[in-house]
Amino acid sequence: MTGRLPRRLVDALRPGAEGHADRVVPPSGYTARLTTFTAAAMAFLAVFALALSLAAGRLADRWSGALAQTSTIRISAPADQMETQTRAVLDLLQTTPGVASARLIEEDEQRALLEPWFGPDVPVGELPLPRLIEIVETPDGYDPQGLRMRLSAEAPGAVLDDHTRWRRPLVTAAQRLRALGLLSVGLIGGATAAMITLAAHAALAANAQVIEVLRLVGARDAYIARAFVRRFTRRAALGAMAGTVAGLAGIAALPDTTDAGAFLTQLGFEGLHWLWPLTVPPLAGAVAYGATQAAARRVLRELT
């Protein structure tokens, strides 16, 4: 299986280029139709699994980008207690598991954040502003319930604001969904290989007499295998093409709404992702090629 494989795959798809190399095996409409149907159905499923996987991936990326693993603690306290409470919170955060770092947002910085809202003339420093502490979490995150309890004990003016944390399970779910979609594509490929192996096996066994005659006139294993491989590769690729077209048509026909967050309406492919399903028919051909080669090698070894 070197660089020659793609060329041989293309050879296998080229119709009738080698005399009647194809015709030495009698046509069998039954296995032919079954193989084509299987490939079409599997390609159809693969397109949906791909769409699901890509859409879940997009969702996971978007949500986790917004999440960014930060939260803030707001401290509002009388002026004389502000300093001690801030110290207490920072000390507490240092010993909280799941907190990577904590940083006090300086007054200048705070003013810069507020300026666009109030304009440069407003004396921000004289407003009774709360102090802000930014927390960066470790990937595992902290326990918000526990942190809130400790904060209320040590610094009654501190409020934990973790509004983005609720999204975390959603991101995990989206990532799992993407992985499951990819796993499904893999399983579909495996099931296709298994079914084509069975069909090729049956076709080879049914043609034992033909194989015997071919051997008597000097056919090598590679020649006999090719007669079968070409057929199954072509049928699988054609069937997969039909299945892919049907799957893509189904996805293209989904209603197109731009409502953000509506997962169902975003199941389609976006941009270059439309190219992914186009790999399904050649892959189906490659799977059929490999499966039939393996089946032929085994049967021809047994038929001696």
Partner 1 sequence: MIALKNVAHSYGHGGGELLTDITLDLAPGSFHFLTGPSGAGKTTLLKLCYGELKPSAGEIQLFGRNVREMTRDDIAGVRRRVGVVHQDCRFLDHLSVAENIALPLDVAERPPAPGDLSELIGWVGLSARARALPPELSGGERQRAALARAVILGPEMVLADEPTGNVDWEMSLKLLRLLVELNRMGTAVLIATHDLNLIRAAKAQVSARVLRIRDRTLRLAGAEL
The CB-of-13 to partner 1 minimum distance in angstroms stands at 19
Q: Which is nearer to partner 1, 210 or 245 (CB)?
A: 210
Q: Which residue shows structure tokens 């009738």?
A: 16
Distance CA 85, CA 91 (A): 10
Q: Which is nearer to partner 1, 27 or 144 (CB)?
A: 27
How far are the Cα atoms of 35, 109, 244, 249, 295 from residue 192, in angstroms, in the given order? 9, 60, 14, 22, 14
Distance CA 200, CA 203 (A): 5
- Interface mask (CB under 8 A) for partner 1, residues 25-64, using x and -? -xx-------------------------------------
Q: What residues from 101 to 140 belong to the interface with partner 1 (CB under 8 A)?
A: none
The CB-of-288 to partner 1 minimum distance in angstroms stands at 23
Which tokens go with 65? 């980008």
Closest by CA position to 288, among listed 194, 221, 220, 193: 193
Q: Which is nearer to partner 1, 136 or 213 (CB)?
A: 213
Closest by CA position to 160, among listed 114, 100, 93, 94: 93
Q: Alpha-carbon torsion 228, 230, 233, 236, what sign?
A: negative
Q: Which is nearer to partner 1, 79 or 216 (CB)?
A: 216
Q: Which is nearer to partner 1, 93 or 224 (CB)?
A: 224
The CB-of-209 to partner 1 minimum distance in angstroms stands at 7
Summary count for the chain: helices (H), strands (E): 9, 4
**Do residues 102 and 131 lie in contact, with contact meaning Cβ atoms separated by under 8 Å?**
no
The CB-of-266 to partner 1 minimum distance in angstroms stands at 53
Q: What residues from 193 to 252 belong to the interface with partner 1 (CB under 8 A)?
A: 209-210, 212-223
Among 23, 87, 103, 297, interactor with partner 1 by CB under 8 A: 23
Among 5, 10, 17, 21, interactor with partner 1 by CB under 8 A: 21
Among 1, 20, 117, 253, interactor with partner 1 by CB under 8 A: 20
What one-letter code names the amino acid at 117?
W
How far from chain centre, in Å, is Cα 157?
45
Q: How many residues bind partner 1 (CB under 8 A)?
A: 24
Q: Which is nearer to partner 1, 18 or 83 (CB)?
A: 18
Q: Which is nearer to partner 1, 82 or 210 (CB)?
A: 210
How far are the Cα atoms of 91, 105, 153, 157 from residue 78, in angstroms, in the given order? 20, 18, 17, 9
Q: Which residues bind partner 1 (CB under 8 A)?
A: 18-21, 23-24, 26-27, 209-210, 212-223, 300, 304
